[in-house]
Amino acid sequence: MKKLWSPWRVKYIEGFKKGYECIFCTKPSSKKDRQNFILKRGKYSFVIMNIFPYNPGHLMVAPYRHIAGLDELNIKEISEMMSFIRKSIKILKKAYNPDGFNIGVNMGKTAGAGFEEHIHFHIVPRWSGDTNFMPVIAETKVISEELKRTYSKLKKHYDKSR
């Protein structure tokens, strides 16, 4: 049997064992955008890379306010977040040329939310054949691009956009 090592995932596993702070509150308040993989900031929300991605370019859009539900967002937050989702799709198309996207929100632990108390949208670029034998047979997902490279690739597009 061959082994694939992904030691960077231990942070994810250990974080949930120890308890965790809300990344959607702590990351933007630190003002270290490159270190925290924050690609774009708005007045009410921001775009951040998922550091445990399903695919390269897996992004999240979250409000600054620490709220759990879609029904708690005000119209300004919703409008800006939808604008960021739209902009992110355009940028991901330019940078990666995906065949499609999964876009969604998991509200509540039962729905799969890792940070159930802070609503956020996922934007996952998809390619034909990106689900191959590895996840199906080996229960292993291979991410083909390192996070810092993805950040640099996407950041230049966000910087050019308004």
Domains of the chain: 7-160 (3.30.428.10)
pLDDT 10s digits, 89-104: 999 999 999 999 999 9
Catalytic residues: 120
Specify burial of residue 45 (Cβ count, 10 A radius: 0-12, 13-18, 19+): buried
Mean pLDDT of the chain: 85
| pLDDT at position 156 | 93
Specify burial of residue 11 (Cβ count, 10 A radius: 0-12, 13-18, 19+): exposed
Q: What is the dihedral of CA 157, 124, 100, 43, to 10 degrees?
A: -50
Q: What's the pTM value of the predicted model, to 2 decimals?
A: 0.81
What length is written for the chain? 162
